Amino acid sequence: MITIMVVGAGYAGLAAVTSLAGRLRGRDDVHVALVDASDRFTERLRLHQVASGQHPAEFRIPELLAGTGVEFVRARVTGLDAAARTVRLDDERELRYDTLVYALGAVADTDAVPGAADHAETLDTLDSATRVATRLAALGTGRVVVCGSGLTGVEAAAEIAESHPALRVTLLGRDAPGSTLGPKARAHLTAALARLGVRVRTGVIRAVHPHAVQLDDGEPEPADLVLWTSGVRVAPLAAKAGLDVDERNRIVTDATLRSVSHPEIYAVGDAAAVRQTFGTLHGTCQSGMPTGVGAAVAIVRALDGRTPKPFRFGYLHVPISLGRHDAVVQFTRPDDSPKRAALTGRSARWYKETVSAAPWPAFGRTLKAPRTAVLGWRRGGRHTR
């Protein structure tokens, strides 16, 4: 019996395991297992809504996998022995694999700045987002500082400002919000933040204190709550196991998503350094989910005695919610540079909620699809960040 193990049940990991289950349907010589610390799928792209006090739908992984033959193991991965081909779990078990799909993702990089780990909240998990919601509800007319002017920071600042209009929300970052967007999208984003009362301040964040954030200009930004969205880091698990990783601890892959040092390991999502002709993919579910499907396709082709094809991906869009009633969508070239086309306002909100809606239905369709189906994932698909 061949064991294929997927570790991590985020966007990329679930895309991999559902694609594997669908493509291996009817085969009794392959066992697929999925390992994750939670039995609930967390829509990370909606955690800013949770933080503002909303309650998105719940999705249970065992219900999705029921009847597929996939074994779900609820445990946290604490170690990897690449030589023995085993993963170690927090309950002291060791599970052996023949092929591993590494999809453990990334978390907010609170180690990048002194004090961030001690004094800032994050949107890494449902629990952390819920903790932010509880603290926000208790602040009254307090001051909230969102550190990081990327997409997560913009969405979080807008959502908090709209849901808690009495709070004073400041968005801090090295660059101006929307700096990578085209003129139309950037202007709409800037106007939306101003309309919601979000104060924008640019500069390099030097430290986070219990009640303030220190910038390089020397003037601290007072804060009753600090939310850290500036950058992500990957756990050193793969590096400690001897795999080739890049400077951010992401597993370096070949053209078929295999580890260049350990070909029995495939890396997908935020934990993988996947190179394309335009550079290395950056971490969003828009690229993460296709890598999960791409790894599954490569694995099945290898099992069938066929040569895996190189993974190819191009970005399609950048959808950004600006509260519940507004959004902006920047359409992009495959290398993620902005095109002239963009949607704003109600049409952008509809697009964001429809095209970039929960990927859960797509996972279900993947389980039932023909073995040769691609389902549109290779150019970003429909269910993207």
What pLDDT shows up at residue 378?
A: 39
What pLDDT shows up at residue 58?
A: 87
**325 in any annotated domain:** no
| Same-domain status, 127 and 144 | yes
**CATH assignment at residue 152:** 3.50.50.60
| Same-domain status, 251 and 364 | yes
- Number of folded domains that form the chain: 2
Backbone phi, psi, residue 55, to 5° = -130, 85
| Same-domain status, 133 and 215 | yes
Residue 291 tokens, joined: 């890598």
- Of 203, 207, 199, 253, the closest CA to residue 228 belongs to 207
Residue 342, burial from CB neighbour count under 10 angstroms (0-12, 13-18, 19+): buried
What pLDDT shows up at residue 384?
A: 29
| Same-domain status, 164 and 87 | no
| Same-domain status, 250 and 365 | yes
Interacting residues of 265 by C-beta distance below 8 A, sequence separation 6+:
82, 99, 100, 101, 102, 243, 251, 258, 259
| Same-domain status, 248 and 362 | yes
**65 in any annotated domain:** no
| Same-domain status, 258 and 286 | yes
| Same-domain status, 140 and 269 | no
**267 in any annotated domain:** yes
**Structure letter (DSSP) for residue 93:** -
What pLDDT shows up at residue 250?
A: 96
Instruction: Give the residue numbers spanning the domain of 268.
Output: 2-37+75-106+234-314+358-371
**339 in any annotated domain:** no
Consecutive 10-residue runs of the chain (385 residues): their mean pLDDT?
96 96 92 97 92 90 94 97 97 97 95 96 96 95 96 97 97 96 98 98 96 92 97 93 96 98 97 95 88 97 96 95 96 96 96 78 74 45 32
Strands 30-36 and 71-74: parallel
| Same-domain status, 291 and 152 | no
| Same-domain status, 224 and 168 | yes
Contact between 349 and 325 (Cβ < 8 Å)? yes
CA 31 to chain centre: 27
**167 in any annotated domain:** yes
| Same-domain status, 200 and 259 | no
| Same-domain status, 220 and 132 | yes
What pLDDT shows up at residue 110?
A: 94
Phi-psi region of 367 (alpha: psi -120 to 50; beta: other; left: phi over 0): alpha
pLDDT in tens, 319-371: 999 999 999 999 999 999 999 999 999 999 999 988 766 677 778 777 776 55
